[in-house]
Structure 1
Amino acid sequence: MKKLVLLALPGLLLLSSCATMDKSACLTADWRTIGFEDGSRGKHEASISEYRKNCAKHGVTPDLTAYRAGHQEGSERFCTASNGFRLGQGGSAYQNSCPQALEPAFLAAHADGMQLHRSNRELQQRQAEVQKAERQIQSLELELAQQDEMLIADGYSREERIKIREQINLLHIAITEAYARLPELQRLAEQAHADHQRNVQRLSARY
């Protein structure tokens, strides 16, 4: 599977849309570079509104033209099919940041990645259900063994032994029911595994 690697440029100013810029940062900001960084990280062009609010406090107005030019360049790196697939596979949401010409291919790949993400989550959930059921059976069997030991141990009255026997009967029922549910859970887990493997083979080869 191909992976997109975004390379940081020398001197690139790393900022998030919610970061607070002080006066020095606003006065020395390279708005084209900031726009490029935002675009290459998939942030919407509207992120500049946060910089505008921060810098307005210091009497500085961001260079919108430079920011947009940089954002366009960064978006061209971000808005590729391989990157869309990678983001979808990781479960990351799309921030509507891609130019119109690049968006269709990016969105199609992102949808494929999300499909792989969902099938992986389904597999993990089904496997967790099997593991939980197996742990429950182990716990019930351990409790049953303890109750069996109590039943033949010295020091218990007849009434207490009757209660122990009742508990043993209930444990047998619970264990039988747990074992009866386990094959279906295992079947669902195997089906989820097969579905996920098919998705991996079908989708990963595209990107």
Structure 2
Amino acid sequence: MKKLFALLILLAVPLVLAACTSMSPDECKVADWNRTGYTDGAAGEDQQSSLAAYASDCAKAGVRPDTTAYRAGWDAGIATYCTAATGWREGVEGRTWKEDACRGQRGDGAFSQALKDGLKVNKTNREIQSMDTKIQDLEQKLQKTQKDNERRSLRDQIRALDRQQASLRDVLRRQESLRP
């Protein structure tokens, strides 16, 4: 059984590594570098690291990326990414690593502010979810306990968490009103 497991792992490693490549040799041979750059820019991908990955992948096929076409496409794509609406979406989804994606680009200020506002919404939502979990745990304890003083204490804790959640929902409504 151990030998079979080891064999499966050995067979899986190349598949996992292949999944990490940014472009296959066949894709390198027919790549539209302008379109590839645009797609990467529109996704907020880093231009330099993406180009380096393509250069590495395509070297295996004897292909060099057309950096001029890629950069032109990336410039057009990043312009569609660096908007307040995208910053908001990335923030609400908690994608803090995208903070530098628009640095130095047109729209940088609006993107950054919307990202910060969206991150606040994300944090508030996580706090509300955490309180939901605590309330559920307390309600389960309440169902199991028979002692009146414990039941009273658990109900008080649940009410306090309910009040905190109501307050957080008010904060969330104000935060969401900042949506671009």
TM-score normalised to the size of structure 2? 0.78
**Paired residues, what number?**
159
Which whole-Å deviations, capped at 9, do the CAs of 1:30-58 have from their partners, x for residues lacking one?
11100111111111112121111100111
Alpha-carbon distance between aligned partners in 2 of 1:20 and 1:109, rounded to the nearest angstrom = 30
Select which of 40, 61, 66 maps to 1:63: 66
Deviation at 1:201, TM superposition (A): 3.2
1:19: how far off?
3.2
Q: Please state if 1:117 is matched with 2:122.
A: yes
Segments of structure 1 that go 5 or more residues without pairing to the other structure are: 1-16, 142-171
Structure 1 contact 116–196 (Cα < 8 Å) conserved: no
CA distance in structure 2 between the aligned counterparts of 1:70 and 1:190, rounded to whole angstroms: 51
Runs of 4+ displaced beyond 6 Å: none
State which of 135, 145, 149 in structure 2 corresponds to 1:140: 145
Deviation at 1:99, TM superposition (A): 4.8
The answer for the alignment partner of 1:31 in structure 2 is 33
Change in CA separation of 1:55 and 1:128 when aligned onto 2, cut-off 3 Å? same
Q: Which runs of 5+ in 2 are unaligned?
A: 1-18
User: What is the percentage of aligned positions where both structures have the same residue?
Assistant: 32
Offset at residue 202 of structure 1 (A): 4.0
Shift of 1:195: 2.3
Aligned-pair CA distance for 1:131: 1.2
Equivalent residue, structure 2, for 1:200: 173
Equivalent position amino acid for 1:28 in 2: V
> Does 1:179 find its partner at 2:135?
no
Cα offset, 1:198, TM superposition: 2.8
Of 53, 74, 83, the match for 2:86:
83
Q: Work out the CA distance in 2 between the residues paired with 1:192 and 1:139.
A: 24
Mark the CA change 1:35 to 1:20 in structure 2 (over 3 Å): closer, same or farther: closer
Q: Give CA deviations for 1:90-110 in whole Å, capped at 9, x if unaligned.
A: 112333222513222211110
